[in-house]
Chain A
Amino acid sequence: KQEVTQIPAALSVPEGENLVLNCSFTDSAIYNLQWFRQDPGKGLTSLLLIQSSQREQTSGRLNASLDKSSGRSTLYIAASQPGDSATYLCAVRQTGANNLFFGTGTRLTVIP
């Protein structure tokens, strides 16, 4: 069964810093990987989706990379802002399946 792990569980950075969030998965037979943002008590906002054939995707200050063979993805956030404070979740969709397997998330705090 696919296991998705995110390290670190929590991260605090001063405003303006660049940072990297990590996601690893045990089964490399994935169809795609999606990064989400979750604010406290709220739903999940999709940030980026990377197909298994892609190496990276960019949206504004966010860049997500995927190394399928090593079972890793990273989410790079440039020039962090206090509004980036949230929990960031990665989720993988297996080849041949419909559902997402989620990691436990990284809780990011950006200090003004």
Chain B
Amino acid sequence: EPEVTQTPSHQVTQMGQEVILRCVPISNHLYFYWYRQILGQKVEFLVSFYNNEISEKSEIFDDQFSVERPDGSNFTLKIRSTKLEDSAMYFCASRVRLAGVGSTDTQYFGPGTRLTVL
């Protein structure tokens, strides 16, 4: 069964450094998402991406964050200058929407990248 994959599984970085988290969504999916989960807290929405542009973003997704789909398969999240509070598990998700087929609204999540900022 197709899966969303994410690399790396764990990233350790120094405060102020740039990080890029990578995701390969399921191949025929059209909508892509990033969420994060700070340890012990809820999963929170960051951004959604459709048709090569951001379709929605939360207040968390400020100018330090950016997303890109550099080719037909990868979807990346860049954090320009990491802060201690960016330490979290970052999840990529994707979904497909076929006209007239409601059950395909399911969002499929990757295994996550654990980001640790020191």
Contact = CB atoms under 8 A, between A and B. Distances in A.
Contacts, number: 55
B109 A46 contact: yes
Interface residues of A, number: 24
Contacts of B41: 104
Contact of B109 (A36, A41, A49, A105): A36
Secondary structure at the A interface, as helix, strand, loop or mixed, is strand
A104 B107 contact: no
Interface residues of B, number: 26
A108 interface: no
Contacts of B91: 43-44
A101 B45 contact: yes
Contacts of B56: 97-99
Contact of B43 (A46, A89, A98): A89
